Structure formats: C-alpha cells, structure tokens
Structure 1
C-alpha cells in the first residue's frame, strides 16, 4: 500500500506499533515515524457526530456516578464504591477505565492513590476521577469530591472545597477560541505556595477517545514542558483542580469536561457538586 499510494514517500507514521514489526518494515525501505502527535493533531477538533457520542458518554457516566453517590455509606471499602462506577459504565455501553483514582480520608492527600480495601469512615472526604472510556468509545473525565456520612463537614474540608471551586470557576471562564495555551497557563488561577507542591499535573487538558492534546501546565512548569497553541472551536478540554496542603490530612479533586464553541464554551459535564461542602445544606 505504501508503494502503491505513497507517491515515492516511504515514511509511515504509527500511533502505536509493535516493536518487533519495525525491522521488517525497515527492510522494505519504510521509515517508521512516531505518529501520536500527528493523530492527536488530527483528532483535536471534534465533528458533530463525535460531540454527540461524547454527550451520550457523559450522560451515561453521570448516571453511573449517581448510583455511586446513592451507594456511598461509611463501612464500605473504596473498592466497593469504585466497582459501582465500573459496573454501571459497562451496563450503559461503556468500555473500560484508564485508572482507579478513588481515595478516601487521609488517602486523598497526596493525589494519585488508587482505590484500595480501606474502609470509608463517616466524615471522610471521598475524591475520585472517572477517567473512563464510555459509550461509543469516548472518554468521560469528571472528578468530584463527596462527604461520607450524614454529618457536617469540618471548616478545613469546606475551605479546601471552596479553593477548588474558585480555581475551576475562574479557569473555566477563560475558555474561548483564540485563547493561547500560554495565556491559560499564566493567567489561570494558581494556588498558594503551600499547596503548589501537591498541585495537579495540569490546569487543562484535551479529551476525546482518551486524554488528548493539549496539556496545559502550571506557569512554573511552562519553560520545561509548555508549548505554543491556542483553543479552537470544536475542541473539548477538561478543567482540573486538586487542592491538598503539602503534608495535610485530606484533599479535594474537581474536574469538568467542556466543549469550546464559536463564541465561548459549553459545559458538557453537569453532575451536581456536594452542597454540604459548599456550605449550602
């Protein structure tokens, strides 16, 4: 096919390729090129059909989250709770989950601890990131933090939640076509110094069939891993926040999935926030 359709060009880009096949291609005079950058550039603008599929995936994911929240009770394990999301995603035509990011109580700080056999206790924060490939093969990447049990949150828990809300709300309002990645990084709401060591790896990231281009980092990381580019209509991005004091007891994870439109943005994820942690119940 390369000889027939390549017009003499023998470069062949692969999103993924098994390494044992590369020498055989090289013997045919084919130059193998890493193709993930090419594929992510091609996938960054979602077609109307892709956006429709993503909407369905989000609806299915949020229905699964609803089943999780109804089932959340002190005395169950983190794995018990996490398994509900997995089962409900599959029940609604979903496929698989990239991570197992659900933690409770002291395991919420620092972030990136996978679900375990730890028993959730009354008064614990329970934080999770769906990271699932849902209906029609599209990713739904939403994070929420809930308070376990029927009690009231502590002042510290409310303060953490409020900081996460403020970061998400501020950074969401920046989203519009033409805004550069550097602007998002440097004008986005950062964190107080004592929270920065535990910061999430990105402020924003693209999403489609999985986590995709771009990855917009904090300003302190820009010189080493930042790159030029700008938002365009049809891109879908996630706005991220993790708030956990370095050496602190608990942390709050929030994340929403957002479509860039011709005039601004449309929030695709609409799962309710925890009213008790917001101080509204």
Structure 2
C-alpha cells in the first residue's frame, strides 16, 4: 500500500469530535484548501493505456469490429475524457468509436474539441453529429442518417467486421445501423466486463478518491450536531469532493432518525435531534473519475448508542465481517451465497437486496444478491483484481436503519479493505 496515498492526518480543531480516530481524516490542508493528490502523471498515463487495452482486448475476444460508446462513464474509462458528464447522460451529444485494434475516435460536442488536448488514447477528434430532439426537432431523421452514414463509413474504411457493440442508443439509431448491415451487440456488458478487472495503477487512483471521500466523511462527522439538517451534513461531502477535483454524487442517501427506515429516502431539511441515528451511503464519483461507495452510521452529537441502536449496529458489523471473510478469488457467486451471513428473520423485510457489487468508475457488474433474493441472481465468479463493495442494511419494525458498506480489492488470498474510516464502538 502506498502510504502517501492512503494515510490520513492533520489538525482539526473541532469542538464536536468525540473520536480522535475520525478527526485524523480531516483534510490536513485545512478548512480552506483542497486535498492535493500525491500521484504522478505516470500513474494516470499507465491507467489510461491499461483501460483502453482492456476494452480492445475484450472486443477481440467477442470478435467485435467496433465499440460505440455514449455512456460518459465508459467514455471516461476509455479515454479519460470528461465533458459535461451529467448533462450528456441524458443528452446524447458526444460519443466514441473504438476499433478493435485502432484507431479510436472521439466525437466531441461541437466547440469543445479542445478539452481532449493531450489525452494519449484518442487518435482523432471529430465534431459529434447530434440528433437529439432538444436540438434537432423535426430534423431528427435527416441528422440521424448523417450520423449513421459517418459511423458506417469509419468502420468500413478500416476493413472491420460488421459486429458493433453499443452501450446506449435510442432505438431509431439502432435501426439505422441495422439498415446498413451491422449486427449489434451489448456494449454495456462488454465495457463492464472489461472494467471489472483493475490494474495496480487504477487501485492507486481509487485509493486517492477514497481518501478524499473519507475527508468529506470526517467533515460530516464534525457537523453532526443537533439542529443541523440532513442536507447541511450531506453538503459537507459535496464540498470536499468538488474542491478536491471530484465529479458528482450519484444519490442523496443521508437520513436521520425515523427517516432512515424505510431506506432510500433522500436527504431533506429535517433538523436532526441529539442521539438520532444518521445513516448514509456516499455513492461518490471522485477525483480521476473513480467511485468511493462507502456507508456509515453514527448518532447525532455522537451520543452513546441506546440498546436498540447497539443491537442493530452489531448485527450490521457481523454481516460485513462475515462476508468479508468469505471473499476470495475463484469463488462462484452461488458458493459465496451459500457461505454468506444469514440475515435474521426480523430484519428481512427491511433488508438491502445486494450483498456485494462491483465498483470502478461507478457501481458496476457484478451484483450479488442477498440470500433471500439469490434465486434471481446471475451466474459468475469472483476474480482477482476485482473491486467489490460489501453491503449491510439492518432494521426492524419501528427501528432506525443502520447502513454500513466497505470497498475491497480481491487479492490472491482474500479481500483487502481500501477504506479505513473507523466503525463506531458498540
């Protein structure tokens, strides 16, 4: 482990901190400065080459001539190119076309071609041909045909086969490509299978994102005072992520007290009372585009937990610790399920359906369901160099919810936790 990347530290000066272990995770640069990554450009460049190579190798395994990407997470993985990611998630205005052994072309939002200067994996940048209704209106059909003609010309001019993998595309666009003689494959599966195996350099980038996330969690811990709203505490994570080069938060999953159960309520202007449980799930897309998906629960004002809170928290820890110990490379999803922690009957109606899921530049394949739901799970095997998240959500009728989650690297012998932000003492 690179201690320069992961190690927390620095002065805090907080009046709220009860746990000095957590205080140590505050940004050592102070309240007014962002965290500065210690990673070299060489680390990032190696990760870029590895990721594009993973995609192209998977394309060759699939006998796939070209890969067309619209999902901004997949484009970031392929090229480290990021431009208006949230906007382009719902406006298909930039895309990438990667040939199995090159070239790789980015079709960029018109006028923004310069944002890709210096990115080594891109052989050519062209203006994108957008045919979304927002800007095309009644010209959609003609613009879509121009788009399809260009995509087809690039693939045929390179002498590639007619099998194209596509991650996200409107049905009309798929029909146009089929009219031109192409067979369409599931590019999201191709991309996520490629993304599932991480390089050592990717893990270093992810460790840094987790470090930034944990600094944000320390700010949240510091501000967990009676009278604060859920939104106020959640904003501390946004703040640390944004100023330290991060991207966005995928959800707004922070609630307190009775609002923690049922789970999946979003943070609100509810003013939290002393002793109420605060539970959250970061779902943070941070620096370098990597995800830090961590969950913790603690009491407002850091009061000693009551008996029920301690019982629920202890059960959540049991689930996390048990399932961590089961993880190893080569174990199938079904075997993991057979050996996994059994949730007590009284908690089942309030359960989190996932026991494990993959994580990279977002939550990704594989997803392994909790044992009551495993009958509808996909098949698969846990592999070395996957990053998985181990989940727990424990609640019962009328109680608060405890949400815990840790992010781990699958090593040759088991699982190494990548996050280190302390659990609560119960």
| TM-score, length basis structure 1 | 0.93
- The question of whether the paired residues in 2 share the 8 Å contact of 1:233 and 1:261 is answered with yes
Gaps of 5+ in 1: none
2:399 matched residue in structure 1:
249
2:273 matched residue in structure 1:
121
2:413 matched residue in structure 1:
263
2:363 matched residue in structure 1:
211
Q: Please, which of 139, 157, 172 is the counterpart of residue 4 of structure 1?
A: 157
Q: Please, which of 319, 325, 341 is the counterpart of residue 173 of structure 1?
A: 325
- The question of whether the paired residues in 2 share the 8 Å contact of 1:182 and 1:227 is answered with no
| Greater RCO (CA < 8 Å, at least 6 residues apart) | 1
- Distance in 2 separating the partners of 1:6 and 1:124: 64
1:91 matched residue in structure 2:
243
State the SS of the aligned residue for 1:67.
helix
- Distance in 2 separating the partners of 1:102 and 1:12: 41
2:385 matched residue in structure 1:
234
Q: Please, which of 91, 101, 118 is the counterpart of residue 253 of structure 2?
A: 101
Q: CA RMSD, aligned part only?
A: 1.4
- The question of whether the paired residues in 2 share the 8 Å contact of 1:127 and 1:146 is answered with yes
Gaps of 5+ in 2: 1-153
Following TM superposition, by how much is the alpha carbon of 1:19 offset from its aligned partner in structure 2, in angstroms? Answer: 4.1
State the SS of the aligned residue for 1:203.
strand
Matched, 1:67 2:223: no
Following TM superposition, by how much is the alpha carbon of 1:24 offset from its aligned partner in structure 2, in angstroms? Answer: 2.9
- Distance in 2 separating the partners of 1:46 and 1:6: 31
Flag as ranges the 4+ runs of structure 1 deviating above 4 A.
Answer: none
- The question of whether the paired residues in 2 share the 8 Å contact of 1:131 and 1:141 is answered with yes
Matched, 1:145 2:271: no
Following TM superposition, by how much is the alpha carbon of 1:220 offset from its aligned partner in structure 2, in angstroms? Answer: 2.5
2:125 matched residue in structure 1:
none
Paired residues, number: 273
Per-residue CA deviations over 1:14-48 (Å, capped at 9, x if unaligned) read: 12224443233233222333321111111110012
Structure whose CA Rg is larger: 2
Question: Which region of structure 1 is more displaced relative to structure 2, 101-110 or 19-28?
Answer: 19-28
| TM-score, length basis structure 2 | 0.62
What does residue range 182-193 of structure 1 map to in structure 2 within 5 Å? 182-193=334-345
